[in-house]
Amino acid sequence: MGINYFTPQYEVCRDPKKCIKCKVCMRQCANEVHSYDEELDMMVADDSKCVDCQRCVSLCPTRALRITKYKNEFKENANWTQQHITEIYKQANTGGVLLSSMGNPVPYPIYWDKLLINASQVTNPSIDPLREPMETRVQLGSKPQKLEFAEDGKLKTKIAPHLELQVPIMFSAMSYGSISRNAHESLARAAEELGTYYNTGEGGLNEDFYQYGKNTIVQVASGRFGVHVGYLSAGAAIEIKMGQGAKPGIGGHLPGEKVGEDVSKTRMIPVGSDAISPAPHHDIYSIEDLRQLVFSLKEATAYTKPVIVKIAAVHNVAAIASGIARSGADIIAIDGYRGGTGAAPTRIRDNVGIPIELALASVDQRLRDEGIRNNVSLVVAGSIRNSGDIVKAIALGADAVYIGTSALIALGCHVCRSCHGGKCNWGIATQRPDLVKRLNPDIGYKRLINLVHAWDHEIKEMLGGMGINAIESLKGNRLMLRGIGLSQKELDILGVMHAGE
């Protein structure tokens, strides 16, 4: 037997004075970390299997458990960190690509945290959202350059189909397959009650979810899983996925073990087969090709649904968005490099793409400069963590945001970044029936509603503080932002002044 080069990442600390040997941790851990040693009459743990999902810590009735970083340290080296060395061991063992999930965890700058929001003082008085009406409804879709009216006062201009959101927040694309049925149901029901939208992702739409169609965005990705005319017609809008923030430039892979009966029926693929979506759409190699798909989808749905084109934030994102805005698309969704995923090659997730804040500012500016900003609405995604991030996104030019990871956290996710293993102990990123049932959609959807209501209220308070009573008046209003600790180049791209100016 070869040498085991690995040291565990985490250490399970159990207080023997508190442990009552109830075995809850053993039953709850799908990674089989905990076991009961009959000879020693005590609970023991295999640290090497722990992914730090915190399920056992949360459910231990006596608070006997704590997960800490494993204290063993390799010789200090700023270049060859323990992580770099361990990853080489892994690849030398397997010869395989390293897989990860959720968003990019590398400590690149987070621009949301380097932007500060304005507030009224003395002139332009602030508004109290508890006493005065405050509008956070948003319409997404292509807007006409000007309105024409007939002599009788009726509108002559034909308005393109729109999405109406009661809050400026939608739930990001997460496929049934990458997340569980109960997670999907929680999102669908919450979207319906909130008056917003959730997104099927690339996994098709299970027939049980057609009832939520008017709050559903159906996605068409390169694999075209589950796409048929009934599916396209079932949703309120259609999203063409060209790219995803967590893995720009590559396709997707849902392992066969996650493709059970129900997922196979929804995706229209055999049970147990890997669902591999190619990196490109094999019919799109130019903006003209994209335009053909946009209009094929509009034709298939009798021009009743807005079409969204989703792209990853990459180096020349403004030029790409400019092309998309001329393709007939109604909405552009831009996903930043911190966007989550059920599975991605680690190197891609951690090294490819750009921050959503910079991408958004440059896209909004380019579309304005070219006089085509009204052709499309902009929706941004990729680690929106709180209502402050949303207010900053709107001020930088977004019409609305997508939230994915935040929504999963509301459902109980502890961001252990192990979704690709399919053994999510919180019942979210798994298809194992015993784990799926741990997430109760009756509770899950209420938690999502609570989160969005709380954020909507906070957005209203921040708007009121700025003396603004409608979110539309904040859109692209970069004077409401100031940068802190940013270089002149960064300030120029963001289009904001430095704090103190």
Q: Which residues are known binding-site members for [4Fe-4S] cluster?
A: 19, 22, 25, 29, 50, 53, 56, 60
What number of chain residues touch ligand SF4 (CB under 6 A)?
29
Name the minimum Å distance from CB 55 to ligand SF4: 8
The span of 62-70, 261-269, 368-376, 464-472 binding ligand SF4 (CB under 6 A) equals 62-70
* Sequence-ordered list of residues with C-beta below 8 angstroms from that of 332, at least 6 positions apart, any chain: 308, 309, 310, 311, 321, 324, 325, 363, 376, 377, 378, 379
Binding mask of the shown chain, residues 102 to 141, with x at each position contacting ligand SF4 by CB under 6 A: x---------------------------------------
169 near ligand SF4 (CB under 6 A): no
159 near ligand SF4 (CB under 6 A): no
67 near ligand SF4 (CB under 6 A): no
Binding mask of the shown chain, residues 234 to 263, with x at each position contacting ligand SF4 by CB under 6 A: ------------------------------
64 near ligand SF4 (CB under 6 A): yes
Burial annotation 15-36 (CB, 10 A radius, 16+ → b, else e): eeeeeeeeebbbebbbbebbee
* Near ligand SF4 by CB under 6 A: residue from 30, 65, 354, 463: 65
381 near ligand SF4 (CB under 6 A): no
DSSP-assigned letters across all residues of 113-169: GGEEE----SSS----TTTS--B--EEES---SS--B-TTS-B-SPPPP-EEESSSE
- Cα 93 to Cα 2, 47, 89, 98, 159: the distances in Å are 10, 20, 6, 11, 59
What CA–CA distance (Å, rounded) separates 501 from 493? 17
DSSP H or E segment with residue 331? strand 331-335
Judged by DSSP in three states, 40 sits in coil
43 near ligand SF4 (CB under 6 A): yes
408 near ligand SF4 (CB under 6 A): yes
> Crossing angle, helix 317-325 and helix 356-369, to 10 degrees?
50
22 near ligand SF4 (CB under 6 A): yes
* Sequence-ordered list of residues with C-beta below 8 angstroms from that of 130, at least 6 positions apart, any chain: none
> Crossing angle, helix 387-396 and helix 356-369, to 10 degrees?
30
What type of residue sits at position 407? A
25 near ligand SF4 (CB under 6 A): yes
| Cβ proximity of 358 and 112 under 8 Å | no
What CA–CA distance (Å, rounded) separates 141 from 359? 20
* Near ligand SF4 by CB under 6 A: residue from 416, 448, 452, 474: 416
* Near ligand SF4 by CB under 6 A: residue from 114, 414, 475, 478: 414
* Near ligand SF4 by CB under 6 A: residue from 60, 67, 236, 240: 60
Name the minimum Å distance from CB 246 to ligand SF4: 12
The span of 229-237, 256-264, 348-356, 408-416 binding ligand SF4 (CB under 6 A) equals 408-416
Site residues (vs ligand SF4, CB under 6 A): 14, 19-25, 43, 53, 60-62, 64-65, 101-102, 408, 413-419, 424, 426, 428-429
